[in-house]
Every structure is written in structure tokens, then in C-alpha cells.
Amino acid sequence: MMFRQGSRLLAGSVRLSRRPFSTATEVPAATTTNADSGFIESWKKVIPNIDPPKTPSHFMNPRPATPSSIPSKITVNFVLPYASELSTKEVDMVIIPATTGQMGVLPGHVPTIAELKPGILSVHEGNDVTKYFLSSGFAFIHANSVADVIAVEAVPVDHIDPSLVQKGLTDFTQKLSSATTELDKAEAQIGVDIHSALNAALSG
């Protein structure tokens, strides 16, 4: 419920032109040895007349190889349900709004899965910094210095209308104080959290 409610509220506080969806380019998988080779050899020794069953790894692409040295850039894929904002974009750093706090991701970052909270995604490329406000989602940091950021809703910070944010914050604060049911309180609290994060993004 929080993801759906947060996305709806964010959409009401921004002016956003949506682009057609295009998927991010996949990173080629490195060639690896078959992890099931030991199982297959054992199977053939015991039941030589029957082909061994296919295991789940048979249907999966090999994991991308970890580079022997840390690259100078981190590759970012930033995807929404309706659009691909960044596809294999090489940048210096990204800062993501994880539920555990702001997390800076540089080349060579340890593999991580992070849940995202309403907040700012900053993409740093030289002296240029592009900021997006995210409602929620997940970030997957891979060992090969690739970061996949999947958000339910996002908008460039400069597309946010400050007057709509202030109005929304006031309205949901009043709803929270007058809510009588747990559902009303939960929905109002989500509204307050989203608009407070939006307001902080504009202030920062």
C-alpha cells in the first residue's frame, strides 16, 4: 500500500513529461564453468542410461565476472515502470536514499541490495550533479561496479512544484491530526512522509 500511495502522491506534486519505456542494456555475462558438473558426473556414474535432470542454474546466465582491478567509473541503470532514465551510464558516483541512510556508491563498492525510501538520488559526473526525487524502490549494487536502481516513481528535482508540496504537506498534516481509523492514519502518515521528503529535497 505504501508504494502505491507514495507513487500517487508524488505524481500529484510534480510536472512530469513521460518518455516511452526502453529497457536498460544488459551487462554481458562472463563465461564460467558449469556449477552442476560435479552433480552430472555423479549422476552418470550411478544412472548412466538416464539423462540427468536440468537444475535451476541450467536456465540462468552466468554471473558477471568481477574485474581484477577497480574501474574508474561506475555504470548506472536507472529504471522506472514506464521509462529508462539512465542506461549503462558511466558516472563517478551515485548517492541513493536507502532506508538505512544516504549511501554513496563508488566504483568497487561491495555487492549490496538496498531498499529505497522517499528521498534524493544524486548522480555525480565530474562537476555535474543530477538529482531525482524517488518515492520508493530498490538498488542493486553488483561486484562488477554496476548499479541498478529501480524506482516506483521518480522525477527530476527541478520539476517539483514547491507550492503543491507545501499545500500537500499542510493537507496531510491536518488529515493525520483528525484521522479516526488506523487506515486513515496510515494513509495520512504516508502523505506527510512523502511531502516532508519533497520539502527537504527542495530546501537542500
Query: What are the sequence ranges of the domains in the chain?
Result: 2-11+67-159, 162-203
Looking at residue 20, what is its pLDDT? 39
d(CA 26, CA 21): 15
Residue 55, pLDDT score: 73
pLDDT at 89: 94
What was the pLDDT predicted at 63? 63
pTM of the model: 0.64
Check residue 1 and give its pLDDT. Answer: 52
Specify the pLDDT at position 53: 83
Residues of the chain with pLDDT under 50: 2, 16-33
Architecture of the domain whose range is 2-11+67-159: Sandwich (2.60)
> How open is the CA angle 155-197-181, to the nearest 5 degrees?
110
- pLDDT score for 65: 67
